[in-house]
């Protein structure tokens, strides 16, 4: 009988452990924009229309919007309804769900990095090039308009092939 209870206790303990480590971190930040600011990134990297987000212990950030949408920083930018990246201080690495228009082509943004905030610059890695923009473009979260079918033309990970 004692062996029965110790086996069940061990299973219960293991189950509790697995659930605890798979649940997103409870955040004290009231918005995604506050979280970005606390991680050394400008709040205007993501639009006002963010519905919710999760941040896992390993730094995986998932941002949920009502749907795909378009906005403009220096050029037009397309957000999928879910944007994912690894969040560390001063960077979003391995970005998925964000594309930027360059010379009539939609290119996926791979990384966003602020190396030195005093420089006033932010680096966008769009695969074929690195683009430096002024941090002042990202001071305030932009409004994002529904994508209007653009999602059919912006194919993840296709780069120059996106318009074929």
Which domains are assigned to the chain? 29-163 (2.30.240)
pLDDT computed for residue 32 by the predictor = 97
pLDDT band at 7 (very low <50, low <70, confident <90, very high): low
Collapsed DSSP state (helix, strand, coil) of residue 20 = helix
pLDDT computed for residue 17 by the predictor = 43
Collect all residues with Cβ–Cβ distance below 8 Å to 17 and sequence separation of at least 6.
none
Stretch 86-113: mean pLDDT: 95
User: Is pTM, for the whole model, over 0.85?
Assistant: no
pLDDT computed for residue 6 by the predictor = 54
Beta strands in the chain (DSSP E): 50-55, 60-65, 69-72, 76-88, 91-102, 105-108, 111-113, 121-125, 130-134, 145-146
pLDDT digits (tens, 9 = 90+) for 31-78: 999 999 999 999 999 999 999 999 999 999 999 999 999 999 889 999
pLDDT exceeds cutoff 50 at 18: no
**Beta partners for residue 146, in sequence order:** 69
pLDDT exceeds cutoff 70 at 128: yes
pLDDT computed for residue 12 by the predictor = 43
């Amino acid at each position: 009988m004692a062996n029965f209870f110790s086996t069940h206790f061990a299973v219960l303990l293991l189950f509790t452990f697995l659930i605890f480590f798979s649940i997103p971190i409870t955040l004290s930040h009231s918005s995604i924009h506050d979280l970005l600011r606390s991680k050394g990134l400008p709040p205007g990297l993501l639009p006002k229309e963010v519905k919710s987000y999760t941040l896992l212990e390993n730094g995986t950030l998932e941002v949920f919007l009502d749907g795909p949408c378009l906005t403009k920083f220096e050029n037009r930018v397309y957000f999928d309804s879910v944007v994912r990246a690894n969040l560390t201080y001063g960077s979003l690495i391995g970005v998925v769900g964000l594309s930027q228009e360059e010379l009539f082509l939609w290119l996926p943004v791979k990384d966003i990095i602020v190396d030195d905030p005093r420089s006033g610059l932010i680096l966008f890695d769009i695969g074929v090039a690195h683009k430096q923009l002024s941090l002042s473009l990202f001071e305030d979260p932009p409004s994002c308009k529904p994508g209007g079918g653009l999602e059919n033309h912006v194919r993840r990970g296709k780069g120059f092939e996106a318009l074929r």
